Amino acid sequence: MKRINGVEKMGFIDRLERNIAKLEKRIERQQMKIEHLTEKCESKKMTKADYNIKKKQIEARIHAMGARIRVLQGGITKEKKHIEEKAKEKEEKKEEKEKKKKK
């Protein structure tokens, strides 16, 4: 986080990383739900059909969250590349200015 005028500002990459962490926690919770469903099914508190339906729904949510994580990771990669390109352009401009001063 960056401090600007006494206020903490979160950078774009920081925000993406925080969102990825949140999604990973959600995935863990969903996997715990599947484990609880398995225990219920094994203890005969739930029918096998209900178990399979609920498990597929939870797995679909996990898959969707995994896709979101991959998109966010791609965003982080793209942003880092953009920052590197900006730094490279800035360096090239400095070199051009130095060359002009020498002439």
> What confidence score (pLDDT) does residue 9 get?
53
Could you count the other beta carbons within 10 Å of the beta carbon of residue 72? 17
The Cα 67–Cα 65 span in angstroms is: 5
- Given a contact cutoff of 8 angstroms between Cβ atoms, the answer to whether 68 and 25 are in contact is no
Residue boundaries of the structural domains of the chain: 12-79
- Given a contact cutoff of 8 angstroms between Cβ atoms, the answer to whether 25 and 7 are in contact is no
Query: Global pTM?
Result: 0.75
Q: Which tens digit of pLDDT belongs to each residue from 35-52?
A: 999 999 999 998 999 999
- Given a contact cutoff of 8 angstroms between Cβ atoms, the answer to whether 4 and 11 are in contact is no
Residue 1 has pLDDT above 70, yes or no: no
In order of 10, 18, 87, the CA distances from 14 in angstroms are 6, 6, 19
Confidence band, pLDDT 50/70/90 cuts, at residue 98 = confident
The Cα 63–Cα 51 span in angstroms is: 18
Q: What percent of the chain has a predicted confidence (pLDDT) above 90?
A: 63
DSSP 3-state assignment of 7? strand
